[in-house]
Structure 1
Amino acid sequence: MAISYRSKSSSLASKIRREAFAIQLFCLVFTHGAIVDQAARLLQFSSSRMEIQCHHQDNKVHRRSHINRATTTNISPQDGLKEADKVSELPGQPGLAVFDQYAGYVTVNSASGKALFYYFAEAAEDPSTKPLVLWLNGGPGCSSLGGAMLEIGPFFVNSDNMTLSTNNYAWNNVANMLFLESPAGVGFSYSNTTSDYNNTGDSSTATDAYTFLVNWLERFPEYKSRDFFITGESYGGHYIPQLANTILSNNKITNAPIINLKGVAIGNAYLDDNTNTRATMDYYWTHAMISRETHQAVQQHCSFNGTYTGACRTAINAANNQLGIIDPYNIYASVCWNASNPQELHGSAANTDPCSHYYIQSYLNRPEVQRALHANTTGLKQPWSDCSDIITPDNWKDAPVSMLPSIQQLISSELSTWLYSGDIDSVCPVTSTLYSLDTLGLPTNSSWRSWYSDDDQVGGYVVGYKGLVFATVRGSGHMVPTYQPRRALTLFSSFLQGKLPPE
C-alpha cells in the first residue's frame, strides 16, 4: 500500500484544518486518501452532537440514556474453534513469541450474519495465573486491533509497513489481553446484512459485546472463572460503563452466564457532552493556546447547558482558528508530514512516531497478514482502517448526553472503577474528567499525591475517592500507553492489583 508524499503548502493547511462547532477536527489528508484516527473521529462525533443542540432539535434518539437491562443471549457451540483461531506467527514477527496468540470471529447474530473480530495475546508468563482483560478503543467506530498495534499489544509495526518490533511495555506482560473490534463494520468485524450498519449505537454495541464475551468464554472455557477487567480509552467512556453494567445486570439472573467482572479503567474518557466542550476551552486557555480575549468571549457567550447560541459558536470557532496545525492527541507532539520518510518527523515528542497509523493500516491490509489473522476479507465492505467509514457519527443511533449516571451505577455496585488522564491531551482533556468528578461529588479516601514509575520519575498524580480512583499520567497525550508506555504499564499493574500506584 503506497503512502504518498505530502508537500507543506498553504493548500495543505486548509486540507488538514477543519472547523468544527465544538473543537477542531483533525484528519491528516494524503493525496490518495486519509486516515481518520480515534481523536479525529471523537472530535467529529462531538461536533455533530453540538450541531444537533445548536439547532434545538429534540433528538430523542441521540439523547436518550442507555438503560442497562438483562440481555437474552444465545450461546452457540464453540467446539474446535479455539484451535482454528490459533495464530502460529504474524508476518514480520521478530522471532517466535513466548506466548500464544489467537484471532478470529465470534458470531453475535446468526440470523443477520453479524460477526465480531478479536485478537487475543495470552500473558507472556504464567497465563493460567493472570487475569483476563478486554481492551476497547473508542471512536465511535475505531479499531481495538489498531489500539493493540499502536498502544499496548505485544508488537508494533515498523516504518517499512512489513515487519514488527517487540513492545517492551506490552500489557500482556501482566495480563491476558483480549482486543475486540466492535461494533460490526469496524476493522475486520462485519455483518452480512447491510442494514445492521445503519442501526448501530451505544445500546446495540453493548448488547453485541456481551454476546461476544459469553460465546468467547465458551470457546476459551479456561477463562470462565478468571478475574475479568475491562479497559480502554476515549469513547470507551461510553462503551465500557455500558458493557460493565450489562454484565452486572445479567450476572443477577438465575442460570445466566456469570462473568467474573472485577473492575474497569478508562483513559481520557469521553463522559459528558457539555462538560467536555467547556473543559476543552478551559484547557486551551490554561495551556496558552488561545488568547485571553477569546477565552473571555467563550465564557461570556457559552453556558454549556445543551444550548449553543450563535455568539457562543462564533467564540468557539474563534478559539479553534487560533490553534494552528497541531496534533490534538498531544499538544506538544509533531504531526506526520511524510509517512514514507520517518526521518522527516521534526522532533516527535517522546520518540513517538506520528506516522504510525499509516504503517499499521498498510500492514493490516497485506493479504499474508490477513490470512495469518484469519480475517474474512470477503465479508468486509472496506479495507481495514483505524476508524470505520461506514460506522460514523452520522448513523450512530443512540448515545447518552452524560455517562455519569452509568459511572455512578458502577460505583454503587462496588466495582473497582478507575479513570485516568494523560495531561497533554486536548481531545478529552484532564479538565473534562476533573469537572465530571466535581459533578459526581464523591468523598475523598486518599488525598491527592504524586505517584512514581519504576524509573523513579513522577509518573503523575492520583487521588482516591469512595468507589473511584482518578490518576493523571504526566507528559502523556490522549493515548496514554503510546506516549508514556512505562508509566502506563505501572498504572495498569496497580489497577489490576487493586492498589494505588506507588509513592
Structure 2
Amino acid sequence: MEKKQPHLFSAKLLKLAFFTVVVVSFRGLSHGHPLDQAGALKALWKAKRRNNAVDNEWVAPSLCADRHRTSAGGGKKEDDLIAGGLPGQPASFASSNKFKQYAGYVSVDEVNGRSLFYYFAEAVHLPSSKPLVLWLNGGPGCSSLGAGAMLELGPFGVNSNGKTLYPRRHSWNKVANMLFLESPAGVGFSYSNTTSDYQKSGDKRTAEDAYTFLTNWFKRYPEYKSRDFYITGESYAGYYIPELADTIVKRNKEADPSLLIRLKGIMIGNGIMNRETDDRGFFDYLWTHALISDETHQRLLEYCMNSQIKKCDYLLDGASKEIGGIDHYNIYAPLCLNASLSSRNPRGSGGYDPCETDYVHSYLNLPQVQKALHAYRTNLPYPWQLCSAIIVWNDSPSTMFPIYRRLIASGLQILLYSGDVDAVVPVSSTRYSIDALNLTVVKPWSPWTDAGGEVGGYLVAYNGLNFATVRGAGHQVPMFQPSRALSLFKMFLAAH
C-alpha cells in the first residue's frame, strides 16, 4: 500500500482562503480536522486565482468499458442494517421498527479498492410510498454524514455529552427516504486502498464515483430502483449536484433500461454557481450588511474583479480584519466559545447550539458508534473528521452555466435556495448568477409561508428553475431554520 501524504488543504493553503475563518460552527480548527466547508471552498477559489487552475468546460463522462469499475452490487442490505438503532438513541427510538437505518460501504473501483460510505434513513411513515433523496455536503471534501445527517436534517442530533442522541423534530426523513453519501474517497469514512487516489480527487472523478455508487446501491436496494429520485445539498455541492445530474441524464440516454435512474429534480442551498458572479455577490453582501467599509468594497470590486492578485490578496486581508471574529455561516449567530457551556439552546427543541460540531466529532469517533455504522477502522488509520485533510483537488470548472442550460433543457425540476444571513455563498451571489442565465420570470417575486404561518422567505419562478430565500437562515439552512427548511423541502417534493 502506498504511503499516505495527508497534506492537501494544509494550514499553509488554508491561509490562502478568501477570508480568515475565525471561529465558526463548522470551524474544524480543533480535534485534528483542519478545515470546514467554508475554509475548503475559499481555499480552492483562492488557489484558482493564483494558478488559473480552472477547467472551464466540464463534460459529463460517457459510458465506457472501464474494468476498474465494479459492475456488481456487492453486499446485502441486511448486512448494513443498524440493528436496534444507533448507540445513544432515545429509548422511544431504540427499536428499528420505528424506521430502519442502514450504513456501510459500496465499492466504486474494485481494482484500486475505492469504496464510498453511506448512511440511509428510511422514511418514518410508509417508506414504500416515499421518494428517495440523496444529500451531498460541499467543501470540497466535507462529510454528508457529519454535517448533513448529524448537524442539519437527519433523524438524530448529538447531545453535548458527545455520546447520546436527540430526535430531530424537523428531520427530512419524515417526508422522504434520505441517503447521505460521504464523497469522494478520503472524506469521512470513505476510503481507497490505493492512497494515490487521494491525490487525484476532483469534480470529474467525484461525479463518476457518485454515479457508480448509485448504480451499485440500487442493486443492493432494488425496491428503490423505480422510485422518484432527487438530489439535494449545499455549498460546493452547487457543483457536485449539477455535475452528477448531468452525468445521470447523459447515462440514462446511453444505458441499458435496467440501469436507468429516475432523476426528477435537484435542490441546492447556498451553492456556488459561477466564479465571477459568486465573487461579485460576496463583495456586495459584505458591504450591504455593514461588514466592510465603503472604501474596501470599492477596491475589492476594482482589483479582485479584474484579477489583480497581489492587490486583491492585500484587500482581502484588510476586509477580514474589518469583519472581525464573527460566524461567516450566519453573520448574526453566536460563536462557540466554550463547548461545556453550550447546551443552553438544545437543538431537539429547535434551538441552535454553535458547539454541536464538537459533539458530532466526538460521537462519530466512538468505537461503538463506528461498529454500529459498519465503518471499517482497518481502512482508516486516521480519526473521522468533518472535512478531509488528505485529498488533493485537481479539477474544478469556473462555471455551472453550461450544465444548468442542459439540465433546464432536459426538463429537470430545479430549486435553488439561499439562507439570507450567509456570508459564505450569499444570496446576492446566487441572484447575480441566475440573472446571468438570462431566464424569463414566469411567476414574480412573492413571499412564501412556513408551517407556522409566517413569511418563510421569498420565491420567484423562472422558465427553467425556481429560486427561494429562507428568512433568517445561514449557510446550512436546515441547521439555522429547521422548520422553514422542512417546509421548503415539502414544497419542492410536492411541486413535481
Please give the residue correspondences for 1:389-468 in structure 2 after superposition, counting only pairs within 5 Å.
Answer: 389-391=389-391, 395-468=392-465
Aligned-partner SS, 2:89: coil
Range that drifts further, 316-325 or 183-192: 316-325
- Tell me the residue number matched to 2:8: none
What is the CA-CA distance between 1:20 and the residue it aligns to? Answer: 4.4
Contact kept in structure 2, 1:420 and 1:473, CA below 8 Å:
yes
- Tell me the residue number matched to 1:87: 82
Stretches (4+) displaced over 6 A: none
What is the CA-CA distance between 1:34 and the residue it aligns to? Answer: 4.9
Contact kept in structure 1, 2:70 and 2:110, CA below 8 Å:
no
Contact kept in structure 1, 2:185 and 2:198, CA below 8 Å:
yes
- Tell me the residue number matched to 1:6: none
1:104 aligns with 2:104: yes
Contact kept in structure 1, 2:228 and 2:264, CA below 8 Å:
yes
- Residues 180 and 377 of structure 1, relative CA distance in 2, 3 Å threshold: same
What is the CA-CA distance between 1:293 and the residue it aligns to? Answer: 1.8
1:25 aligns with 2:21: yes
1:474 aligns with 2:471: yes
- Residues 318 and 356 of structure 1, relative CA distance in 2, 3 Å threshold: same
Please give the residue correspondences for 1:114-193 in structure 2 after superposition, counting only pairs within 5 Å.
Answer: 114-146=114-146, 147-193=148-194
Could you list the runs of 5+ residues in structure 2 that have no partner in the other structure?
Answer: 1-10
Once residues 458 and 99 of structure 2 are traced to their aligned partners in structure 1, the CA distance between those partners, rounded to angstroms, is 33
What is the CA-CA distance between 1:423 and the residue it aligns to? Answer: 0.3
Once residues 80 and 383 of structure 1 are traced to their aligned partners in structure 2, the CA distance between those partners, rounded to angstroms, is 25
What is the CA-CA distance between 1:49 and the residue it aligns to? Answer: 2.1
Contact kept in structure 2, 1:227 and 1:262, CA below 8 Å:
yes
Once residues 21 and 219 of structure 1 are traced to their aligned partners in structure 2, the CA distance between those partners, rounded to angstroms, is 41
- Tell me the residue number matched to 1:233: 234
Once residues 386 and 74 of structure 2 are traced to their aligned partners in structure 1, the CA distance between those partners, rounded to angstroms, is 31
1:361 aligns with 2:358: no
Please give the residue correspondences for 1:235-250 in structure 2 after superposition, counting only pairs within 5 Å.
Answer: 235-250=236-251
What is the CA-CA distance between 1:351 and the residue it aligns to? Answer: 3.0
What is the CA-CA distance between 1:278 and the residue it aligns to? Answer: 1.9
TM-score (norm 2): 0.90
Once residues 266 and 281 of structure 2 are traced to their aligned partners in structure 1, the CA distance between those partners, rounded to angstroms, is 23
Once residues 354 and 31 of structure 1 are traced to their aligned partners in structure 2, the CA distance between those partners, rounded to angstroms, is 14
Once residues 232 and 447 of structure 1 are traced to their aligned partners in structure 2, the CA distance between those partners, rounded to angstroms, is 25
Once residues 29 and 373 of structure 1 are traced to their aligned partners in structure 2, the CA distance between those partners, rounded to angstroms, is 22
What is the CA-CA distance between 1:381 and the residue it aligns to? Answer: 3.9
- Tell me the residue number matched to 1:293: 295
- Tell me the residue number matched to 1:214: 215
Please give the residue correspondences for 1:24-43 in structure 2 after superposition, counting only pairs within 5 Å.
Answer: 24-26=20-22, 28=27, 33-34=32-33, 36-43=35-42
Once residues 285 and 351 of structure 2 are traced to their aligned partners in structure 1, the CA distance between those partners, rounded to angstroms, is 24
- Residues 264 and 32 of structure 1, relative CA distance in 2, 3 Å threshold: closer
Could you list the runs of 5+ residues in structure 1 that have no partner in the other structure?
Answer: 1-14, 54-58
Once residues 485 and 180 of structure 1 are traced to their aligned partners in structure 2, the CA distance between those partners, rounded to angstroms, is 21
- Tell me the residue number matched to 2:6: none
- Tell me the residue number matched to 2:5: none
Contact kept in structure 2, 1:23 and 1:47, CA below 8 Å:
no
What is the CA-CA distance between 1:343 and the residue it aligns to? Answer: 5.5
Once residues 245 and 453 of structure 1 are traced to their aligned partners in structure 2, the CA distance between those partners, rounded to angstroms, is 31
- Partner letter of residue 226 of structure 1? R
Contact kept in structure 2, 1:338 and 1:344, CA below 8 Å:
no
Once residues 407 and 114 of structure 1 are traced to their aligned partners in structure 2, the CA distance between those partners, rounded to angstroms, is 29
- Partner letter of residue 301 of structure 2? Q
- Partner letter of residue 388 of structure 2? S
Contact kept in structure 2, 1:49 and 1:273, CA below 8 Å:
no
- Residues 457 and 107 of structure 1, relative CA distance in 2, 3 Å threshold: same
In the comparison of the two structures, how many residue pairs are matched?
467
Please give the residue correspondences for 1:338-377 in structure 2 after superposition, counting only pairs within 5 Å.
Answer: 338-342=338-342, 351-377=351-377
- Partner letter of residue 93 of structure 1? Q
Contact kept in structure 2, 1:225 and 1:260, CA below 8 Å:
yes
Contact kept in structure 1, 2:61 and 2:208, CA below 8 Å:
no
- Residues 452 and 35 of structure 1, relative CA distance in 2, 3 Å threshold: farther
Aligned-partner SS, 1:87: coil
Match of 1:70 among 59, 62, 76: 62
What is the CA-CA distance between 1:29 and the residue it aligns to? Answer: 7.0
RMSD: 1.9
The superposition leaves residues 206-256 of structure 1 with CA deviations (integer Å, 9 ceiling, x where unpaired) of: 000000000000000001110000000000011000000100001001515
